[in-house]
Structure 1
Amino acid sequence: MTGIFLILLLTPILGYFVYKNFRTKVSTRTRIVEFLLITFFIVSLLAFGFGYSMSSADYYTAIDIVDEGYTPFASKHVLTLLVFFALSIWSIFALWLKGNQLPPLLFVLAFVFLIIGMVISFVVILQLSVNIGGNDTEIILFPLPICYLLISVVLMFKVANNEAQIAATRVYKNKFLNYLNTKLAKTNLQPAYVLVLLIPVFTLIVAILMVFGQDYNSITKVFTETTTWNFSQKTHPPALDHKGHYLCTVAVCGNPEIVKPLRLGKRHGKEIVVNRQLLIANAFEELIQENAPRLHRIIRNAYDKYGYPLSKKITTPESSNLVYRLMKPLEYFFLTVLYFCSSKPEEKINKQYAI
């Protein structure tokens, strides 16, 4: 543990000395600010990757929402988001290292992608601002878009200030051009053609992505074809409960004509879909708990150990249908025991998960 702590402590310090030799032409204050921003960006990027892996299930997947989470970005359309993110990172490095020395076309393109990245980062922040899921992964997802916005604003001011200084030294023979140049130097405005090219460049990238299987509106679907987040427009299957009948619960997520859902029920304060198989299994467990509590604890512990990990691997309607069919013999066994040992078996079955 001490070794890991020392590595985490020494890495930024050693990294600064390497960076210091790399950026010898700028002031010490500028180097420190730049290095802090880069460090913040790398840490936030790693945190984002870790948080995204914790919330990677798409809206159609049945999960235990307490231990896992639904992804804020639809997997089918996430390529579009990644491409624009990569182009935005390129724009940051291009403007940071070259700035106003870039060829005019590359300078404009860099600014276009920088602005697109800012808009997307703002939308990502809004998407992460609401999460009705059971975990709090948005806390470690937030820093990356915030960091991008911070770096982008700093870069825009830096480039605009440099452009203003350059413009102040230019003198044109044409009076109109000289007037415009003077205005630019005073107001630090970015060239208007950056805004003019925003839509054409954005459209071109989307058209290229369509060749690779993305939809023309993937940039919106990546946020809307999700569940539990701010812009989500999809509903998810009944949540798997790590304190419930894992296999019977995921079986309800199969095709309705096969698993035959009956009604909504409530388990631990959450609504779930129930069918007769789930009701019978829960009634059987209740019967064992009432008459043989010690045996129930043994069965419950074994089921918690093996049933829950198995249920997490059942993520499609087809696999849920299979589980439902495989559970049928147990369902008949549970029902037989209930009819032998309970005076009112159907009443006991029907009262399970009552709302």
Structure 2
Amino acid sequence: MITFFVFSLFGFVCGLMMSGAEYYTAIDIVDDGYTAFASKHILTLLVFFGFSIWAIIAIWLKINQLPPLLFVLALVFLIIGMVISFVVILQLSGGVGGKGVEIIMIPLPVCYLLISILLLLKITCNQAEVSATRTYQNKFLNYINTKMAESNLQPIYVLVLLIPVFALIVAILMVFGQDYNSITKVFTETATWNFSQKTHPPALEHRGHYLCTVAVCGDAKVVTPLRLGKRYGQEIVVNRQLLIANAFEELIQESAPGLHKIIRNAYDKYGYPLSKKITTPESSNLVYRLMKPLEYLFLVVLYLFVVKPEEKINKQYAI
């Protein structure tokens, strides 16, 4: 079981490293997905889960050697970890944003729940009896040890310490820039998952004018977006460069279908992989400027062979 837990932990970490885009990022709807955990609040989740893993290791390896206070704290974090694991499973099992990454992330919380249940069954009065034999020179510590060694009261101590310990960890995390409710925001400030409460921007469609599409994602002052358009049922932002490129492709498709197929296949093979590497406003601005000569060429062709070129241009991606 422990071996499987270690492998599942490795899988969960790999899943976090492969995590998708934040909810506010426009992405390709086919090849990409949105992250299940908001990166801004992920530290809170990792810290609580880290303490929960410590609790499992401590109870599993030293169940009869833990001092009563540490034993009760371990139980507190064990329960917190069980709640978080259950919520993580619900988050990963719902929604459409995973692109398969949830398959390697779910085993960890599932394994945590199973081990936690086994540990709770394993914990018996022997722990209290062993703890009761310990004494401390410090009167206060000895008093706490005696009280917490009483097995019939230990569940009460766990419940009493649950909220203060949770609040203390949250307070410490706030010093490091986390919000007081980061433990909920890490699930809700996402898109397309079970507890997601954010709406992602119009997705980048994987079909169409890849380079012109990513060019629209640059600075508004540079790429001059005009309006929203619709392509394959998805809303996209369009500018004049994209409209002209699409009108030109439509003209080629109408007048020379065979040539259009050859050009389209070549563009799909090289243009799409290139567009995937354009991920910043600066690179989008650069693509927009590099596409300018082609834009003018397309425009000249349209004015040479189309009776009403502007009408053809303006009707592209019409909603």
TM-score range, shorter chain: 0.7 to 0.9
TM (norm. structure 2) is: 0.82
Task: Give the Cα–Cα distance (whole angstroms) in 2 for the partners of residues 119 and 134 of structure 1.
Answer: 22
Residue 194 of structure 2 aligns with an amino acid whose one-letter code is: N
Q: How does 1:161-176 map to 2 (within 5 A)?
A: 162-163=126-127, 166=129
Q: Does 1:143 align with 2:107?
A: yes
Structure-2 change in CA distance of 1:327 and 1:236 (3 Å): farther
Q: 1:190 to 1:255 in 2, by over 3 A?
A: farther
| C-alpha spacing 1:220/1:278, structure 2 compared with 1 (3 Å) | same
Alignment partner for residue 289 of structure 1, among 253, 260, 264?
253
Contact 1:224 1:232 in 2 (8 A): yes
Question: Residue 41 of structure 2 aligns with which residue?
Answer: 77
Q: Does 1:198 align with 2:182?
A: no
In structure 2, runs of 5+ residues without a counterpart are 134-145
Query: Where in structure 1 are there 5+ consecutive unaligned residues?
Result: 1-36, 171-176
Matches within 5 A, 1:10-25: none
Give the secondary-structure state (helix, strand or coil) at the position aligned to 2:99: coil
Deviation of 1:248 (Å): 1.7
Paired letter, 1:230 = N
- The residue number in structure 1 matching 2:76 is 112
Q: 1:240 aligns with which of 189, 199, 204?
A: 204
RMSD after superposition: 3.0
SS of corresponding position for 1:101: coil
User: Which of 165, 171, 180 is matched with 1:216 structurally?
Assistant: 180
Q: How many angstroms apart in 1 are the aligned matches of 2:75 and 2:315?
A: 63
Say whether the 8 Å CA contact 2:35–2:97 is kept in structure 1. Answer: no
Rate the CA distance shift 1:126–1:261 in 2: closer, same or farther, 3 A.
Answer: farther
**Amino acid in structure 1 at the alignment position of 2:192:** T
Name the CA distance, whole Å, in 2 between partners of 1:196 and 1:115.
13
Q: 1:65 matched to which residue of 2? A: 29
Match of residue 241, structure 2, among 260, 264, 277: 277
% identical aligned pairs: 78
| CA displacement 1:41-73 (0-9 Å, x = unmatched) | 233333333443443322233322311211111
Shift of 1:239: 2.0
Deviation of 1:144 (Å): 1.8
Residue 227 of structure 1 pairs with residue 179 of structure 2: no
1:252 aligns with 2:252: no
Secondary structure at the counterpart of residue 274 of structure 1 = strand
TM-score by length of 1: 0.75
Tell me, yes or no, if structure 1 residue 88 matches structure 2 residue 52: yes
Q: Distance in 2 between matches of 1:71 and 1:152?
A: 27
CA change 1:257–1:231 in 2 (3 A) is farther
Are 2:309 and 1:349 aligned? no
Alpha carbons 2:229, 2:238 under 8 Å: kept: yes
Comparing 309-318 and 109-118, the one that deviates more? 309-318
1:235/1:314 CA distance change after superposition, 3 Å: farther
Per-residue deviation, residues 155-189 of structure 1 (Å, max 9, x unmatched): 1121146558x49x99xxxxxx9xx969x3xxxx8
Shift of 1:192: 0.9
Distance 1:143 1:158 in 2: 22
Q: Does 1:38 align with 2:2?
A: yes
- 1:103 is matched with which residue? 67
Could you tell me whether the CA contact under 8 Å between 2:29 and 2:206 is conserved in 1? Answer: no
Q: Secondary structure at the match of 1:233?
A: coil
* 1:22 paired residue number: none
Q: Does 1:340 align with 2:304?
A: yes
Deviation at 1:333, TM superposition (A): 2.4
Aligned-partner Cα distance in 2 for 1:241–1:322: 20
